[in-house]
Structure 1
């Protein structure tokens, strides 16, 4: 009975959708580097 329903404007929903879409595109172009992989690359470069 005491539920509160928050109104979310369409502009806020559209903004969140666009940000998520842009982040997905960015990640597909520049994949996030795994911390373990970066450390391995550094170790390999020191050995050579």
Structure 2
């Protein structure tokens, strides 16, 4: 049995990292932070954690 190479992350992780990097380049760091905050807020509202 061959051991998988440890230095290579799973393909999905790499894919998401690349997509996130593209987003950051497109809308800038502040835009990404704002977007993440919106997503968190929506999620919190959806599940109403209070």
Give the number of the structure with larger relative contact order, counting CA–CA contacts within 8 Å between residues 6 or more apart: 2
TM-score, with normalisation over the residues of structure 1? 0.44
Higher radius of gyration, 1 or 2 = 1
TM-score, with normalisation over the residues of structure 2? 0.43
